Amino acid sequence: MNSSSRAILGALLIGLCVGALPAQAQRTPGAAGLGVQAGEPSGVTLKIYNADGPSYDVLAAWSFDDFLFLNAHALFERPLAIENVEQPVHWFVGPGAYVGIYDDGGSEAGLGISGTVGLDILLAEQFEVYIQATPRFELVRETEPDIGGGLGLRYYF
C-alpha cells in the first residue's frame, strides 16, 4: 500500500471513529501525549499540551530513504467548529526545526527549519488522532525544500 492510500485509509478511519464516539473529550494543560506517527516520516511523537499558549511537539523519526531525525515544533491550536461532530476538533500551525543524519553511502548531518499545519481530533478523554503536513527547508548539508507529513495517534497521561 503506497503512502497516498494509507493517508486516505487513515482519514476514513478517523471519520468512522469520530462518528462512533459520543463522549466529549478534554485535554488538561500540561498533559503529555505519547504516540506514533505513520507517514513520511514515521516515528515516535511526544506532545506537551498547553491550552493558554503554544503546545510543544517532538518527533523522533526515520524516513524510508535512510534519514533519521529529531523534529520539534511549537503548535498554536484553535478549535474548529464542525456541524454534527461532537468530538473536539482543532486545527494547528507552528514553526520548528530539525536535525538529522543521512546515510547516503556515508553518514552526514543535516539541519533545517520546518513548519507544520494540521488537524487533531480528541476521540476520548486520553486519545488524540492527528493528520499533518510538515514543509522543511534544509540549511546545512544541502539547501533544498522538502515536505513530509503523517497520520498519528497519541495517548495522554
Of 39, 57, 3, which is closest to residue 151 (Cα–Cα)? 39
How, if at all, do strands 107-124 and 127-140 pair?
Answer: antiparallel
Domain with residue 86: its CATH number is 2.40.160.20
Q: What is the pLDDT of residues 90-127, one digit of tens each?
A: 999 999 999 988 877 667 888 999 999 999 999 887 99
- To the question of pTM greater than 0.85 for the whole model, the response is no
Q: How many domains does the chain have?
A: 1
For the record, the C-alpha cell of 48 comes out as 506537551
Range of the domain at 150: 3-156
Residue 11 pLDDT level (bands cut at 50, 70, 90): very low
Mean pLDDT is lowest, of 50-59, 80-89, 100-109, for 100-109
Supply angle C-alpha 80, 153, 113, rounded to 5: 75
